[in-house]
Amino acid sequence: MPDAMPTVGFIGLGDQGAPIAQAISDGGYPLHVWARRPGSLTALDGDAFTPHPSIAELAAASDVVGLCLREDADNLQVAVEGGLLANMRPGTVVVNHGTGLPQAARELARLSEPYGVDVVDAPVSGGHAVALARQLTTIVGGEAPVVERLTPVFRTFSKEVVHVGPAGSGQYGKLFNNALMMMNHRNVVEVLRLAQALKLPIHPLLDVLRAGSASSFALQAIGPSITSGNVHHLQPLELTDMELFSGAVGSLGEAAHAVIERAVAGAKQLDELTAIVGV
């Protein structure tokens, strides 16, 4: 892969994928896109990009291909059945920005080896609003020299790029991050329940908690990112993430049970949290 301004292919123009692709294009990288539904390309209106009618043609034109798809099965379908790996050149890179199992990230890396294609798992943290602001945290698993070459691309949409370790490590980092955030949801609910019982004004108390040493993203996100309008969209996503987390740490058995139980409770109580705060 060339060291300067690689051609970047992209598949997956959803809530996070579209802002990521826009940032890459705005960063001056030649952007090539394939979409299962052509109407999805409207998300890039006003941005410079080259559409392709097939995954194979996108693959042949790209030095790096970013995937921001819903599930691990989607990545495998695109990479293997869709012909992505078979049509990429040796030395090029597939980057998975979606959240999935570390085991699946390692499997994708294994499948890419016969083609001489590198694979990096680079899930992102921050949500749609943070993606639009180009302030995502990108959590990367892969070989250090490959990650180093890709980091300038990641910085077009990231406030922080963290190389956690080898293939699969990025997914572990993302899932642990999500689990702790959901545990913090539970903590916030429990504290605010006590405040309600004492008939304390909730919003001034929230100002204290957000400004003080108790602050966390779980607190800061209430209102700006987590509202009664989107909570029923966010809850199933968080619960899906916890299914992935459970699968990622399943070999630990009972040692992981308390974390899983508290994080799942936090996700399930997200609607109660928005109701208490009134956002």
| Cα–Cα–Cα angle for 245, 247, 253, rounded to 5 degrees | 100
> Per DSSP, what are the bridge partners of residue 96?
67, 121
Q: What's the confidence (pLDDT) of residue 128? A: 86
Domain boundary among 166, 194, 216: 166
pLDDT of 69 over the 70 cut: yes
Rounded Cα distance, 35 and 18, in Å = 11
Residue 99 lies in a domain: yes
Whether 178 maps to a domain, the answer reads yes
In a domain, 3, yes or no: no
Tell me whether residue 2 is in a domain: no
Residue 94 β-bridge partners: 65, 119
pTM: 0.92
Q: Give the structural domain span for 157.
A: 8-166
pLDDT class for 257, splitting at 50, 70, 90?
A: very high
Residues 147 and 228 reside in one and the same domain:
no
pLDDT tens-digit map of 206-229: 999 999 999 998 999 999 889 999
Would you put residue 193 in left (φ > 0), alpha (ψ -120 to 50) or beta?
A: alpha
Q: Which of 2-6, 110-114, 129-133, 189-193 has the lowest mean pLDDT?
A: 2-6
User: What domain count does the chain have?
Assistant: 2
The answer to whether residues 49 and 83 belong to one domain is yes
> What is the 8-class DSSP label of residue 226?
B
| CA dihedral sign, ordered 193, 199, 202, 206 | negative
DSSP state of 78: I
Answer whether residue 205 is part of any domain: yes
**In the chain, what is the straight-line distance between the N-terminal and C-terminal CA atoms, in Å?**
47
Question: Last residue of some domain: 109, 140, 166?
Answer: 166
β pairing state of 124-125 and 136-141? antiparallel
pLDDT grade, residue 176 (50/70/90)? very high
